[in-house]
Structure 1
């Protein structure tokens, strides 16, 4: 990079020569160096870094006279540097072959060795996106091909790179309306590949953060396209074994949907129940947290639609042997919105969960869970004492029938044993 080191700095050049020098440095910065060996091409790497710093500052100062040729040079430089095979990618696994142990620590991310150059190239691109450039001049460069390249780069293990990509893609989405639909569809495809094929993608968190803002700007009524995205991509993201890594952002997106359109609460809750974890207690707690946020916003009509399957699952969570799951399910009754909805439908809900509550009071091994269960039972008793007595009587009757059935089974086994005993003695 001798030529780049020999060029004058942009501030020192005559004003009439600065644009020519700006383009010349952009073209020379298209050369990409190998950072795997820190001892190789040290002078050239440093010269390129200083040149990129100059270019970023020149662009930030608003001194660039934009025309198609300048844009072409800048985008060629950007693409030459950022489009590369992503290093350090771990072996991909299908969702069905996930072997990660719950609670195990995440591996340290593989940081990009060329970041001293890449950061400045991303800064160039970001400043260009912010610049007031004629949309017609730019549209050919922010093409669908370029958007797909950016989305592929979200699989970088370096969180610094993903953060730049998030900011840039979000800004492109905001500035270019013609690309919005394509960007949403392309993000959907990334999620489909993650859910149904690879089970691994580093940039899920960042893409969901972008989507959270996009959903917030949806017009009402919600378009069929957005409803389909919710049901086909967003809800199935709950099924991944590593959902804890991005659940906060995913939950924010689902809650944003419910805030925009309360009718979406029904497919979201039914989807959560469909993908409800059976053995992953930490994941189950996350689902209960998300359920409570949605219940805060749900309308009575939608609550009535999901009430039965919802409380059948809550009943199972209440009796979970994992005390944190049971405790989290019982804490739902601290939510005033839930209590008000339950009070309206107590005749249907209490019989569904009375047995589990009664079982917890007597049989759960954790004293805090027993205490919380008693508080919930007390709440129902104060809400409707007559209904409470009916449920209690029905439970006693059911338990009595169970005991009779058990006693009858034992009696028959004893009779069978007596009949078989002589034959056993003969065999001996």
Structure 2
């Protein structure tokens, strides 16, 4: 079937073939059947072809009458989906993309036929209340495409924004927090197209809903609502309409007594934003808040400051106190104005990494030292209570000195950011090499994993558990040698002396919703890791004992090492599943169900098997016996002494071809760093169909 559709797709994809020929082949009756077929949960390749064909037929119609039946057929499919007891939501997404290209081709003002489609077929899709496992709403399968359509309407005719936003607010989910997060994302996107003068027409229902979400018991809903105040256009609306906005929102912010401290801290930072926008309006609103009911006090300024201090105990502390560690400067006198910044090297949920050069007066720029600068947002480490992790990361980097561990050259700060000046690895990370090559040759893996072992040995000898060993955290220097990086998830072994398994499960239960969501998995408490004992890592590389609630250990890093080694040769992790809960189940059972690709050598199979033993103490290299690990037959011929001083071999491609479309080939966020869903950007690689210009009716 796939080959037939590939041929169809290729033939009909030629620009030289007129759409009229396709219309001649795909008659009206056949076209309706194809549109219906999309709803039946067909193969992805077939859906891709059908989407393309339906789009091309519609675009090739030379009169409105020929196009009308396609819109009616699509509308009927949406209605059928909503009335079905067992919906096939994956078929809705491609049809919505087609509708999005049609709407974007409309002339303003948009004609009634298209507006009727909006009210009759598009909006009702928001009422989809069915859920997948783990309470994930079915609408999540096509929500981005749904928003893509709505943005098409409001971008063509912004005056439609108030009515669309009001309708969305009326359809707000009652009991599904994950669906509420999707609606908040959609609402924020729609607000970006709202003409500022029309804000007052939606102010009451919008602010009521926003405040309700800020007070929501589910911390992710509350955080997503507070994130509106990071949107530049929303902040401009807030400034322009501060007499309406501030009195409505301030009580919900000052009332914040959420069980999750990070929500309270985030709310406190929003209070500061509102105060800075219009001090007169803010003071009037704050005074009114404190004069009501049991809160009555004349000292409203003092009461506001005390409340903010309760919400954010670290309020007013210097960053040096929050971090609590000093790092010797290896490049003396380095600061913000000592650097010339270049390209972005990478992004995380709380930081970015940029290439830079250190200015050396009197010398040619080509000779200036190259560095990588990790830029940490202070607002994040404050709101997410990440100070302990930053402090620990800096302590570890200052403590460790080894050719296979990235070196920290300097740390400095500005008012809003912390800058960590680090060693630059010109050849990127191991994930990038596996992603681009598909897999690595065994002789390449032997050298690279050998150097990872050398670096990991030093980490362990210093009483440190790496905690997040994965290809993304293994850098390749321009010399071809390995550098371990990112100790944000690391722990000192001594911190876990009083580990309590029951306490771990209690704390983990508080984060359970967070783990199951396609959303942020941030640390959410102002308790230090010494008290919380919540372990963070990247799901596909986490050892089974950690999933079961046991104490993390150096042996847990050996399991992760086995995963990385396997991925080097196979191009993917040894265990994978779309849902994290299912992934965890597979990891726990992996020792009983493991299989290996045919191209693995017997030595590679044996090494993987011995690193990924279910019992941590049975893993090769356990109890810091790295000599046993280095003596494994897979590493025969590797000269361990001064390995990092030897010339690095060329990185060679392995047996597996690149499979970039696979989800497991994408970069994996650690549990600690996985961000809330980013705002939809409607990237061209996802929404690739061209816009269809409107025809006169």
Q: Same fold (TM over 0.5)?
A: yes
- The 5 Å alignment of 1:408-423 reads none
- The alignment yields a C-alpha RMSD, in angstroms, of 2.5
The CA distance in 2 between the partners of 1:162 and 1:137, in whole Å, is 21
Q: Provide Cα deviations, 1:200-228, integer angstroms capped at 9, x if missing partner.
A: 13410110111121222112220011112
The equivalent residue for 1:353 is: 249
Q: Distance in 1 between matches of 2:230 and 2:12?
A: 50
Higher normalized helix content (fraction of residues): 1
Alignment correspondent of 1:226: 114
Q: Which structure: larger Rg?
A: 1
Secondary structure at 2:192 match in 1: helix
Q: Does residue 329 in structure 1 map to residue 329 in structure 2?
A: no
Aligned to 2:164: 268
Which residue of structure 1 aligns with residue 4 of structure 2? 120
Question: In structure 2, how many angstroms separate the alpha carbons of the residues matched to 1:344 and 1:382?
Answer: 13
SS at 1:304 equivalent: helix
Counterpart-to-counterpart distance in 2, 1:303 and 1:260: 18
Cα distance in 1, alignment partners of residues 50 and 186 from structure 2? 28
Q: Please, which of 285, 288, 291 is the counterpart of residue 394 of structure 1?
A: 288
The aligned counterpart of 2:384 is none
Aligned residue in 2 for 1:163: 48
Residues 1:186 and 2:73 are matched in the alignment: yes
The list of structure 1 runs, each at least 4 consecutive aligned residues, that deviate by more than 6 angstroms after superposition, is 133-138
The answer to whether residue 31 in structure 2 is matched with residue 144 in structure 1 is: no
Once the two structures are TM-superposed, the CA of residue 326 in structure 1 deviates from its matched residue by: 0.7
The change in CA–CA distance for 1:335 and 1:131 in structure 2 (over 3 A counts) is closer
Q: Note closer, same or farther for the CA distance 1:373–1:220 as it changes in structure 2 (3 Å cut).
A: same
Pick one of 170, 173, 181 that aligns with 1:285.
181
Q: Which residue of 1 aligns with 2:149?
A: 253
Deviations 1:91-117 (A, max 9, x none): xxxxxxxxxxxxxxxxxxxxxxxx25x
> 8 Å contact 1:129–1:172 — kept in the other structure?
no
Determine which of 373, 398, 419 is the counterpart of 2:267: 373
Q: In the alignment, what sits opposite 2:202? A: 306
Q: In the TM superposition, what whole-angstrom CA distance separates every residue of 1:42-74 from its partner, at most 9, and x where no partner exists? A: xxxxxxxxxxxxxxxxxxxxxxxxxxxxxxxxx
SS at match of 1:364: coil
| Mapped partners of 1:388, 1:181: distance in 2 | 53
Q: Distance in 2 between matches of 1:151 and 1:135?
A: 17
CA contact (8 A) 1:236 1:271 kept: no
Alpha-carbon distance in 2 for matches of 1:134, 1:291: 40
2:97 to 209, 218, 223: 209
Q: 2 CA distance for matches of 1:131 and 1:400?
A: 73
Larger RCO, structure (CA 8 Å, separation 6 or more) = 2
CA displacement, residues 145-188 of structure 1 (integer Å, 9 cap, x when unaligned):
12111111112432221111111111111112342221112111
The 1-side partners of 2:194 and 2:122 are apart by 18
- The yes-or-no answer on 1:200 pairing with 2:87 is yes
Residue in 1 that maps onto 2:659: none
Q: Choose 376-385 or 135-144, whichever is displaced more.
A: 135-144
Q: Take 2:198 and 2:46, find their aligned partners in 1: how far apart are those partners? A: 41
Task: Please list the CA deviations of residues 109-158 of structure 1 after superposition, one character each: whole Å capped at 9, or x if unmatched.
Answer: xxxxxx25xx4156347625758677777756433212111111112432
Match of 1:176 in 2: 61
Greater CA drift, 243-252 or 268-277:
268-277
Following the alignment from structure 2 to structure 1, what is the Cα–Cα distance between the partners of residues 287 and 184?
Answer: 30
Structure 1 distance, partners of 2:270, 2:21, is 65
Contact 1:188 1:233 in 2 (8 A): yes
CA distance in 1, matches of 2:187, 2:12: 42
What is the CA deviation profile of residues 265-300 of structure 1, one whole-angstrom value per residue up to 9, with x for unaligned ones?
Answer: 122211211111222111111111111111222112
Verify the 8 A CA contact 2:215 2:252 in the aligned structure 1: yes
Deviations 1:229-263 (A, max 9, x none): 11222122112131111111111111121111101
Query: What are the ranges of 5 or more consecutive residues in structure 2 without an aligned counterpart?
Result: 130-137, 297-697
Q: 1:302 to 1:229 in 2, by over 3 A?
A: farther
CA distance 1:131–1:381, shift in 2 (3 Å): closer
Structure 1: runs of 5 or more not aligned: 1-114, 403-428
Aligned length: 285
Instruction: Give the 3 Å change call, closer, same or farther, for CA 232–267 of structure 1 in structure 2.
Output: farther
Q: 1:138 to 1:309 in 2, by over 3 A?
A: closer
Contact 1:330–1:372 (CA under 8 A) maintained in structure 2: yes
Query: Conserved in 2, the CA contact under 8 Å of 1:208 and 1:250?
Result: yes
**In 2, Cα distance between equivalents of 1:159 and 1:133:** 24
SS at match of 1:297: coil
| 1:288-342: CA deviation from partner (whole Å, max 9, x where unpaired) | 1111111222112332211211111000000111111111111111111111111
SS of residue paired to 1:177? coil
Query: 1:137 and 1:345, CA in 2 relative to 1: closer, same or farther beyond 3 A?
Result: closer
How far off its partner does 1:396 sit? 2.6
1:187–1:122 CA distance, 2 compared to 1 (3 A): farther
- Answer yes or no: is the 8 Å Cα contact 1:296–1:337 preserved in 2: yes
1:351–1:391 contact (8 Å) kept in structure 2: yes
- Structure 1 267/385 Cα, relative in aligned 2: closer, same or farther at 3 Å? same
Change (3 A) 1:368 1:191: same
